Each structure stands twice: as structure tokens, then as C-alpha cells.
Structure 1
Amino acid sequence: MCGIVGIFLKDPKLEPELGQMLSSMLCVMTDRGPDSAGFAVYGAGTADHVKLSLRAAAGYDFEALARSLSVSAGGAPGLSVRATHAVIEVPAAAEAAVRAALASDHPEVALVGSGARMEIFKEVGLPSDVALRFDLSKMRGTHGIGHTRMATESAVTTAGAHPFSTGRDQCLVHNGSLSNHNDLRRVLTREGLTFATENDSEVAAGYLTWRMREGATLGEALKAGLDDLDGFYTFVVGTESGFGVLRDPIACKPAVMAETDQYVAFGSEYRALVDLPGIAKAKVFEPEPATVYFWDRAA
């Protein structure tokens, strides 16, 4: 049993409040997942640059890391440190070189995700502690997703926490379990994807990345998953400009959505949404099984 939340802002005036809203939603889902928590926020980006979300042990010297990557990055990378995580911003043309330098010279640092606008943070602990550690309430952006985990099939580790990201500006949170993830992992590995954990949710993220590499939109990739992903699941997915939701054909996991002129929000339970502005007048509904829901800033 896990808790998942997400919010997509239609009204730019709410962007300074995104972190506060997402933090409130995440913390309410504590009893659905007290083991670990994580979130992704889509904030501002710099043209022709990419953000790399990194994770290391407590007390790690990220400033020294940034200095060591300056040659590969073609100059000192932008750096933002939040507890055990850091986001470095480098020219997009230098991304491959920086990734190679990280892998060869800094194996102690994990690459959590990358994108023009996406930043990912996750850690073991109560959701309220995780949100406070990374100062989620002060983050701003256009949309974000979050997850509270109750580990039932694997160890409680930071690496096993959600969101999972296997493509640029793309990440996924998942409530449920896939029965064919090992077979699918082998297929995707042959297609060139790599996986850092044994978590079935990382395979689901990889599947969507693979479909989108083949030219599918996120909505099309989610729809194809109805045929290829066996098990029970609710996915909330973020991309650079969009936000999607999909439940399996049985829809045995709880889910509720709310939509107003200002936002679209998702929660595993309605109580995750009750503190959102204007919720009393929102259109509240249960997403239908085997139905793709998608909102996009570029539309």
C-alpha cells in the first residue's frame, strides 16, 4: 500500500505555491506509506541547459563535486544543494561528458533524474520529514508528483523510493504491483535501457520511456501499457510540459481527482486534496479504469 499525489497548475499565479500544495498532499498520505517518500517538481529551466538531480551520502561535498565537473561541463556548473541531494545545471551539449565523468570518477554519487525543468528528491523516512529536509514547501513550479512508500516486496532504501525517472524530464510514481516486470526488464535492457534497482515501478517508467523514444506521445505510451503491463497499478506521470494518470482495467487501487479552472490534482484518497484552494467548488471524480487522462501546458 502506497500513497501517490500530483498537481498540475493551469493558473500561473499559483506557481509560487506549488511546493506548499504538494507538501500538504504528500504529508497527508503518510499512513499509506511511512517508510520513504519522494517527489518531482517541474520548475524554471535555462535554455539549452539540463539539470541533473544527484544523490549522495549525508555530508557529501557537492561543491567539490561541482568543481571537479567543471572541465567536463565546459565551466562551473550551476549548483543547488538540498540535504543529501543536489541539482547541477550544465549545457545540454555537455551532458554526455558530465554523465561519463560522474560514472567514472564519482561512483558514490547516484544520478536520480535529468531534464530541462525536472528536479527529483527522495529519501527514507516519514513524508513530513522528507518534505522538510528538502524544503519542498518553498519550491515553485508548474506541476509536480509525489509518492509515500510502504515497502511490501523489497527493502526500505532511498534507491527504492519513488519517483523513478528513466527519460529526460519524465518520471513516474506507482501504487500497485506488476507481475511481468522481470520479463519486461529483459526486453527493455535489450533495447538499451538501464535500471538501477529491482523495483517494478522503475520498469514501468522505463517502458514509457521506450515507447516515447519510438515516437509515441505520453498518452499513447500509457494506452499501449494497458496491453503490455500485467498487474494492478495506478500511475501518475510527469513530463516537461504534461501530467498524466492511468489506472489498470480493474482499478483496484483507490484514486480520486479534482479539477478547477486553476489546477488538476490527484490523490490516492480525497483527504489528500482537502486543503487545496477552491476544492469545495472543484469537479471531484474517480478516474475511470483503463482510461488515459492527460493535461499538457503546450496544448
Structure 2
Amino acid sequence: MCGIVGLHLRDPELHVRLGELLEAMLGQVVERGPDSAGVAVYGDRRRCPEGHAAVSVLDAPPGLAPALREQLPGRPDVLVTVAGDTAVVAAPVAPEVLARAVRAAAPDAIVVGTGTDLTVYKGTGNPRELADTYGLAGAQGWQGLAHTRMATESAVTPEGCHPFSVGEDQCLVHNGSFANHATIRRELRAEGVVFDSENDSEVGARFVASRLAQGEDLEKALRALCERFDGFYTLLVTTGDGFAVVRDAIACKPAIIAETDAWVAMASEFRALAVLPGIDTARIYEPEPERVYAWRR
């Protein structure tokens, strides 16, 4: 099962409605994944002000902000927003500097998102209630995605739910199952890659991140994933300037794409797209097997 929704806004006038629209879409796929829900938002300056980096963290200890100030050069002000199981930390430093400081100040915490545009939230429970916990309706920005999970490959825990963000401003959500994920996990571990969960989707995310780190663009990285991974899957992958969808060769996992001049959206079911403004004039279609559909900001 599992439910995926994603929204890439072309019209800047809609940026103030990103959270409202994404929450409405999420509410239409709750039955596909009632165990947990994760959300990623790009450009929400409530949580990541301009000129700051943001790091999303699970299991953040109390008193994280003052501990981080001690770790950061110049001891800048640190903004910490707690949203259920997730804490979003923001500071006026580079993302890798902030992530390194978080790991030093809170070695038992799990980093689930980093970037200058990206905030990630994960939790277990009813997706509609989690959306309230995350403050999703008030989020503003230019792109977002959400995932509702019915756990099949790993335990129902915050770290096991989607999205998986393992590169700067990068996210992946997945509906389906990778048949050979254990083999690819071993290969990536041999290259020094560290995993945070047993979820097969994290393997896909880290594979894509490794290809992007080698200089490939998102389309080429996803074509490589199709060549390397076996199984049945629909993927939505986002970066700081991109939004992409791909399905496996059989394409038995559902996916619908809709486009207008104002936005591009995808979802596991049409009813999640029906809540969007202008859907009556949108171009609506089902993505073809193993074809990468990609849009850039």
C-alpha cells in the first residue's frame, strides 16, 4: 500500500498555500498508510529563515540549542522548533557545518533532513493528526511531498517512515518493495555508507544520493536505479531544484500526475489531486513504466 503525494508550485502566488494544499492532499491517502506519516517542505521560512541552514532531527535531547551554540563557529543564535518526534534546528551556517554540530552535540539523535530549503518531519500515528503536529497547514514554500506508510519491510518507528532525506535538500518517498535491497545495502556499506533504518526505501534514497554525489543529474540517477533495483515501485524524488517521478517496468503500483501552468502534482490516487485549484483544466496522465518524469524549478 502506502500513499504518496507531491506538489511542485510554478506560480509564486501559490507559495503561501503550499502547506494548506499539501495537507489536503495528504488527507486523501490516509487509508493507504495509517501507520505513520512524513512530510518534507521546501522554502518554509518559519522554520528555516533566509540565510540559514536547517537540520531535522529525531530523538533530540533537551537543551539542544545552547549545546549547539557551543559547537558552532561564532556561537550564533540557534532556532529549534519541536514538532512531535521531530526537532528542526536552524542556524546561519552551512548545512554540513550545522549537521556536524548536531551530531557532536547529540550523538544519539538521528539526522533525517539537511539543507538550506528543506524541513522534514516524521512520526507514527494517524497522518491527519500528525499533519497538525507538524503545523503543516501554515507552511509556505515552493515544493512539498508527503507519505503515509503501511509498514511491510521494517518496524513502525519514526526513523522507518518516509521521506528519506540522505543528501542536502534531497528527499525520496516510495510505494512498493525492492526485492534486492539487501544486496545493494551491503554494497553501499562496503563503500562506507551508514544507514539509519532497515527500511528498503532508505537503500533507494542512499543509492540516488551516491549517484548525485558522483555528478549525475536526477534523471540519470533514477535511470540507474531502474537498471539496478528489482521489485515493484513508484518513487517521488525531490531536490533543491527538482521534482521527479519514476515507476518500475511492470508499473503495478499506482501513480497519477497532473500539470497546469501553476503547478505539477503527483499522487497515488486521483482523489488527492482533486483538491487542487484548477484541477478541472489540468493535463492528467499515468506515468509510463521506467520513464523518468522530471521538472526543474
Whether the TM-score (by the shorter chain) exceeds 0.5 is: yes
Distance 1:46 1:120 in 2: 15
Shift of 1:194: 1.4
**Structure 2: which amino acid aligns with 1:66?**
A
Give distance in 2, aligned partners of 1:109 and 1:228.
31
Secondary structure class of the residue paired with 1:154: coil
Q: CA deviation at 1:48?
A: 5.8
Equivalences for residues 1-299 of structure 1 within 5 A: 1-43=1-43, 44=45, 49-56=52-59, 61=62, 64-74=63-73, 75=75, 76-93=77-94, 95-96=96-97, 98-297=98-297
Asked if the contact 2:71/2:104 (under 8 Å) is kept, the reply is no
CA contact (8 A) 1:259 1:283 kept: yes
Q: Distance in 2 between matches of 1:66 and 1:9?
A: 33
Change in Cα spacing, 1:116 to 1:203, as seen in structure 2 (3 Å) is same
TM superposition score normalised by structure 2: 0.93
TM-score by length of 1: 0.93
Aligned-pair identity in percent equals: 48
Count the aligned residue pairs.
292
CA offset digits 1:201-220 (Å, max 9, x no partner): 00000000000111100111
Superposed displacement of residue 100, structure 1 = 4.2
Tell me the distance in 2 between the aligned counterparts of 1:84 and 1:250: 36
Question: Is the Cα contact below 8 Å between 2:235 and 2:245 reproduced in 1?
Answer: yes
Counterpart residue type for residue 85 of structure 2: T
Instruction: Output one character per residue of 1:172-225: Cα deviation in whole Å (capped at 9) or x when no partner.
Output: 000000011111111112223211001010000000000011110011101111
How far residue 21 of structure 1 moved from its aligned partner, in angstroms, is: 0.7
**Residue 288 of structure 1: SS of its match in structure 2?**
coil
> 2:101 & 2:143 partners in 1: Cα distance?
31
- Distance in 1, matches of 2:53 and 2:87, equals 13
* Runs of at least 5 residues in structure 2 that lack an aligned partner in the other structure: none
* CA displacement at 1:246 relative to structure 2: 0.4
Contact between 2:112 and 2:120, CA under 8 Å: does it hold in 1? yes
Give, in whole Å, the separation in 2 of the partners of 1:99 and 1:143: 22
Contact 1:53 1:85 in 2 (8 A): yes
What are the superposed Cα offsets for residues 137-177 of structure 1, whole Å, 9 maximum, x if unpaired? 11011011110001123221111110001101001000000
The 2-side partners of 1:12 and 1:228 are apart by 37
Q: d(CA) in 2 for partners of 1:179 and 1:271?
A: 29
Task: Give the 3-state SS of the residue equivalent to 1:159 in structure 2.
Answer: helix
Moved more, 75-84 or 27-36: 75-84
TM-superposed CA distance for 1:242, in Å, is 1.1
